[in-house]
Amino acid sequence: MPGVAPTTTGGPRRGVTLPQRRLVTGRSQEPRQRFAEELRQLRAGKGESLRQLGERLGWDWSLFGKMEKEETLGSPEVVQALDQHYGTPGLLLALWELAAGDHTQFRERYRRYMALEAEAVSLWHFAVSVLPGLLQTPGYAREVLAAGGIKGAELEQQVKARMGRRELLEGEDAPPFRTILSEAVLRTPLRDAAEWRAQLEHLLEMSSRDNITVHVLPNSAGLHALLGFDVWYLLLPDGRTVVYTENGYRGELIEETAPVVRLQKAYDSVRDLALTPAESRKYILRKLEEVPCGSST
């Protein structure tokens, strides 16, 4: 058989020069180039044009063209949407992080959380002051993101990315999702009354789906175990539960058994204080009826 006969230790005979390892894949070792190469290859593998990709994900197709030409890296949420579209949870986000060279912008813990979210078979959540992204309308997302200092083209990209995440709760195989909303969430309207009305209507519509359960935690419940931070719980296919806690400054992915169990118990105690799903729908409907009919508050 042609080729180099192995020695007894499995290595090549003396005098034979092996090719360098970097030629095995032919991929660039420069992070930005590798990121762009991976984007081009994944799209080619699906047989999609840039226009088709833009239509399916809801972004201007020219953005993806610029990302493939190394003219821009795009935002983390855009890349997460691409990971979901291509069925590569976490891969593109990891390459994006290396290309961006900014580990403070998209920390390892959040990147891992996003990959786990895409795999979760069940999700539950507690909100302190803002609706979860999975239930937001474009108008709500835009105002929330703008309040955080995002503006211009980046703002529009982030809004579209957040809307793309909502696909997680759609379709026949969508996982069950339960959220407990602090009453403060529903007592903090948008500046535009029409947008706030649209958000409340969307929340009511989503809460009527079989896989989505919405509770409202009234202020009268008093102090509770989850005061001060949002919490996401993910049940994974292997039976493990992981938790992601988040406040206005940082997030933390928790996978150790003991703290996860404590946070699960805390969630159960808060759910016991919340209104039932039927009572919660009535509460949301009352808030909707209070919204002025004009275009702004």
Q: Which residues pair with 253 in a beta bridge?
A: 244
- Rounded to whole angstroms, how far apart are CA atoms 254 and 113? 9
User: Which stretches of 75-220 are DSSP H helices?
Assistant: 76-86, 91-100, 108-119, 138-147, 152-165, 183-186, 193-207
pLDDT in tens, the chain (297 residues): 444 333 333 443 344 443 343 333 445 557 878 888 999 999 999 999 999 998 888 888 888 888 898 777 777 778 888 988 999 888 888 888 777 764 444 456 667 788 888 899 999 999 999 999 999 999 999 999 888 788 888 888 888 888 888 888 988 889 999 999 999 999 999 999 999 999 999 999 999 999 999 999 999 999 999 988 899 999 999 999 999 998 765 678 888 899 999 999 999 999 999 999 999 999 999 999 999 875 444
Contact 186, 283 (CB under 8 A): yes
8 A C-beta contact, residue 42 and residue 83:
no
pTM value is 0.65
The confidence score (pLDDT) of residue 249 equals 58
How much is the pLDDT for 191? Answer: 92
Residue 9 confidence (pLDDT): 38
Starting from the edge strand earliest in sequence, which strands make up the sheet with 177-182, in order? 212-217, 177-182, 122-127, 230-235, 241-246, 251-254
Instruction: Return the pLDDT at 12.
Output: 38
Q: Can you read off the two tokens belonging to residue 3?
A: 């080729």
